[in-house]
Amino acid sequence: MRSISTRLRWLAAIVLLASAGGLAGQALWLQAKAELAQLLISRAWTASLASGEPVRPWPWADTWPVARLTDPDGGMHYVLASTSGEALAFGPGHHPASAAPGETATVVLAGHQDSHFAFLEHLQADQDLQVQTMQGKLFNYRVADTRVVDSRKEAMQFHQGVAELRLVTCYPFGALTSGGPLRYVVNAWLEPTE
């Protein structure tokens, strides 16, 4: 009787260890894939700067880097040409209905609050953000304010004649579930060039 009980314990231990190993392997695979994607996006960005034309980071990519956002702490975030879920998995995206950086209109960038836009939680008024375009032009934006918006009650507004940058992410920060209606919005104004 004891040997059956001991064998069952050993079998349970082996199954648990194999499951834990599988989960750890999956986590390592996801991390490696994310880091490789950032390397490929960085290379595509460098090629885009050199040519002034969009370059896909991998042949089957449905997006490409269109700008690079630098936060106040020097963190660089490659902005992709879409706000689809697939694109946002790899970086912040440029809302296709909004203006291009530097234009006298509303530029909207969206990103996930638990990855590329996590820095928004600590962003404060009067801090600077820099956006570089594929043509190599640099635009500085100064943070004006932040607010929480209920997307069910307030639609995104795009303005003409006002050079503004709007960064949007889900809210609250650190939420265990995603997809709620609240959005954290950072408004920044284009600084005049000298």
pLDDT, one tens digit per residue, over 5-16 is: 888 888 877 877
Return contacts of 68-71, CB within 8 angstroms, 24+ apart. 68/131, 68/132, 69/109, 69/129, 69/130, 69/131, 70/129, 70/130, 70/131, 70/132, 71/119, 71/123, 71/129
In a domain, 24, yes or no: no
Residues for the chain: how many in total?
194
Question: At 153, which CATH number?
Answer: 2.40.260.10
In a domain, 52, yes or no: no
Note the pLDDT of residue 194. 63
With beta carbons less than 8 A apart as the criterion, state whether 121 and 75 touch.
no
- Does the pLDDT of residue 1 top 70, yes or no? no
Note the pLDDT of residue 185. 97
**Domain count across the chain:** 1
Q: From CA 157, how far away is CA 130, in angstroms rounded?
A: 22
Mean pLDDT for the stretch of residues 97-114: 94
With beta carbons less than 8 A apart as the criterion, state whether 111 and 77 touch.
yes
In a domain, 165, yes or no: yes
In a domain, 150, yes or no: yes
In a domain, 47, yes or no: no
- Closest Cα partner for 81 from 91, 68, 94? 94
- Cα–Cα distances in angstroms (integers) from residue 70 to residues 9, 34, 73, 166, 182, in the given order: 54, 20, 8, 14, 25
Give the global pTM: 0.84
Note the pLDDT of residue 30. 65
In a domain, 92, yes or no: yes
Mean pLDDT for the stretch of residues 73-97: 93
- Does the pLDDT of residue 92 top 90, yes or no? yes
In a domain, 40, yes or no: no
- Does the pLDDT of residue 131 top 90, yes or no? yes
In a domain, 184, yes or no: yes
- Does the pLDDT of residue 27 top 70, yes or no? no
What range does the domain containing 148 cover?
59-190
Percent of the chain residues past pLDDT 90, beyond the cut = 65
- Closest Cα partner for 186 from 113, 134, 132, 91? 113
Beta bridge partners of 148: 184
